[in-house]
Amino acid sequence: MSRYRGPRLRVVRRLGDLPGLTRKQPKHAYPPGQHGQNRKKKSEYAIRLEEKQKLRFNYGLSEQQLLRYVRRARRVKGSTGLVLLQLLEMRLDNTVFRLGMAPTIPAARQLVNHGHITVNDRVVSIPSYGCRPGDQIGVKNNDRSRQMVEQNLQYPGLANVPSHLELDKAKLIGKVNGVIEREWVALNVNELLIVEFYSRQT
């Protein structure tokens, strides 16, 4: 199963801020567990593993899904790490989250799964759907769907809509204008270390 159902703040304490996973802030700045404050220096493998786990938990992916994305990114010309981030950011659940229609990526996934979101006026219930430049992201035309999204837009997960997206709050329609640029990726992650981590598996 790709969805993480465990305690989210525990993951945030271990890996650092994950804006897509939760909006809550942990009370303690050190990792969880009995020896959280006494952790020794991390090995190079541990550092790469942590970067990979940040990506997995933030975007809500299984190990196999992430591996498939890495393989896809390798086949595209350009920086593999940047292409990987762009593929993940263009997922429908993440796009709904970045537009402010949901407070977190798991909440956005639920909106998509339950058929509240449309792409180019057609209901799409697949969270991993890859949005393309020119796509219009809307809300299903019923009171319940619109009410839920309007409520979420009052308290968006992130303050700013990235430059590749635009949102019409009155009509509840978002538009994908292009591919996200690196500086607009909200997650603090070193994508090169993730590519290195998967170098033997791809």
**Is residue 25 scored above 50 in pLDDT?**
yes
Establish if 2 belongs to a structural domain.
Answer: no
- The whole-number pLDDT of residue 38 equals 65
Examine the domain organization and report whether 145 and 128 are in the same domain.
Answer: yes
- Here the CATH number for the domain that contains residue 18 is 1.10.1050.10
Model confidence at 1, pLDDT cuts 50, 70, 90, reads: very low
Nearest of 69, 81, 85, 105 to residue 184 by alpha carbon: 85
Residue-wise pLDDT for 64-115, tens only, equals 999 999 999 999 988 899 999 999 999 999 999 999 999 999 999 999 999 9
Residue-wise pLDDT for 33-54, tens only, equals 655 666 677 788 888 988 999 9
Establish if 202 belongs to a structural domain.
Answer: no
Mean pLDDT of the chain: 86
Backbone angles phi, psi at 91, to 5 degrees: -60, 150
Examine the domain organization and report whether 83 and 12 are in the same domain.
Answer: yes
- Here the CATH number for the domain that contains residue 137 is 3.10.290.10
More confident residue, 68 or 15: 68
Measured CA to CA in angstroms, residue 77 lies from 27, 65, 95 at distances of 43, 21, 23
Examine the domain organization and report whether 67 and 115 are in the same domain.
Answer: no
Residue 18's domain comprises 8-87+185-197
Examine the domain organization and report whether 79 and 97 are in the same domain.
Answer: no
Examine the domain organization and report whether 163 and 193 are in the same domain.
Answer: no
Q: Across residues 126-152, what is the average pLDDT?
A: 91
Examine the domain organization and report whether 104 and 145 are in the same domain.
Answer: yes
- Give me the number of domains the chain comprises: 2
Q: What is the pTM of this model?
A: 0.85
Model confidence at 30, pLDDT cuts 50, 70, 90, reads: low
